[in-house]
């Protein structure tokens, strides 16, 4: 079953062009929307000066460029080769990025390798068991005092069957993600990305910022 779901995800993304519109799954106003949401998201992040950053689901490099500018090193991971190729082109001026073309569930890092982990629209493409496994691995990979940020499209009453067509994502209530992470991490902040609510009346673009406090 897991291999089938992985194949579905691969088929869905590998047929898509490496563009901002693809990253947002939004054809209209994609450039403007991308810039607006990036400002909101980056404003929620801690200082990354001299930090070791792990970016899971890095895509074409929308956030990778920022991380490379302010951190000491970025490990950028994506399983879609053409997205990662575009990421390499977009970040070619930096020499502090390592690129990994692999499924996040295949990753192996030493404990306490990173100060910050970033995920944007990733957990919705994993099943519950995979999320638990990834959560536990991130907890190991983060140094004590390190932070985790993730953003997901969550279930809400305005999400219709048409919204899900051909998309292998799982839309969960925001409380589902909170409950999965609250026992292993300390919640610093959570909220939703306002530009989607303001422009499209969609309040389901939710984010969380957690801290790893203990071993």
Residue-range domains of the chain with CATH: 2-11+38-211 (3.40.50.150)
d(CA 145, CA 211): 6
pLDDT of residue 2: 59
pLDDT (tens digit per residue) in 40-93: 999 999 999 999 999 999 999 999 999 999 999 999 999 999 999 999 999 999
In angstroms, the first-to-last Cα distance of the chain is 33
pLDDT (tens digit per residue) in 154-166: 988 766 544 455 7
The whole model's pTM is what? 0.91
Burial 6-15 (b: 16+ CB within 10 A, else e): beebeeebee
Residue 160: Cβ-neighbour burial (10 angstroms; 0-12, 13-18, 19+): exposed
Closest alpha carbon to 12 in 84, 112, 101, 79: 79
Name the CA dihedral angle for 16, 156, 149, 166, rounded to a multiple of 10 degrees.
-20
């Amino acid at each position: 079953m897991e291999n089938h779901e992985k194949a579905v995800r691969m088929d869905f993304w590998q047929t898509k062009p490496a563009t901002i519109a693809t990253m947002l799954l939004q054809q209209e106003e994609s450039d403007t929307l991308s810039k607006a949401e990036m400002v909101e998201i980056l404003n929620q992040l801690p200082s990354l000066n001299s930090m070791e950053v792990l970016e899971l689901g890095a895509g074409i490099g929308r956030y990778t460029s920022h991380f490379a500018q302010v951190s000491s090193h970025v490990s950028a991971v994506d399983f879609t080769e053409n997205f990662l190729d575009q990421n390499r082109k977009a970040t070619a001026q930096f020499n502090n990025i390592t690129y990994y073309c692999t499924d996040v569930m295949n990753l192996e890092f030493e404990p306490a390798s990173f100060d910050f982990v970033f995920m944007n629209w990733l957990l919705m493409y994993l099943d519950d068991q995979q999320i638990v496994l990834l959560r536990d691995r991130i907890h190991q990979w983060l140094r004590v005092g390190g932070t985790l940020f993730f953003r997901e499209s969550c279930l809400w009453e305005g999400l219709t069957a048409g919204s899900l067509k051909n998309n292998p994502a799982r839309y969960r209530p925001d409380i589902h993600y909170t409950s999965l992470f609250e026992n292993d991490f300390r919640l610093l902040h959570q909220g939703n990305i306002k530009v989607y609510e303001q422009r499209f009346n969609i309040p389901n673009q939710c984010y969380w910022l957690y801290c790893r406090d203990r071993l």
